[in-house]
Amino acid sequence: MPEPIFEAAAILGARIRARRQELKLSQEQLDGRTGVHWSYLGQVERGLRNPSLRNLLRLADGLEIDLAELVRELPAPPADEGENGPERRPRRV
């Protein structure tokens, strides 16, 4: 099974899943509320995807929760890695 991309993604995904289940919504039902595809939502919930701000806003609205509550006290991602692996630093000339 794939590993979460970083700790914050795993925590955020768990919060989204917990709130969805608290509202007794399936991933498909949340898809209908938000326009965030259910399969993408599953990847977010497992910490495999790092959702954009746009999708986070949609999810917070669909989950009837403040965005600030979803992202509060998340650990910072590793400095040299992003969603797609290590970042390339600009060369000094």
Whether pLDDT at 2 is above 90: no
Whether pLDDT at 85 is above 60: no
Q: pTM to 2 decimals?
A: 0.80
Please list, in sequence order, all residues whose beta carbon lies within 8 angstroms of the beta carbon of residue 57, skipping any fewer than 6 positions away. Answer: 67
Instruction: Map out the domains of the chain as residue ranges.
Output: 1-66
DSSP string, 28-79: HHHHHHH---HHHHHHHHTT-----HHHHHHHHHHTTS-HHHHHTTPPPPPT
pLDDT, tens digit (0-9, with 9 covering 90-100), for 10-45: 999 999 999 999 999 999 999 999 999 999 999 999
CATH number of 1-66: 1.10.260.40
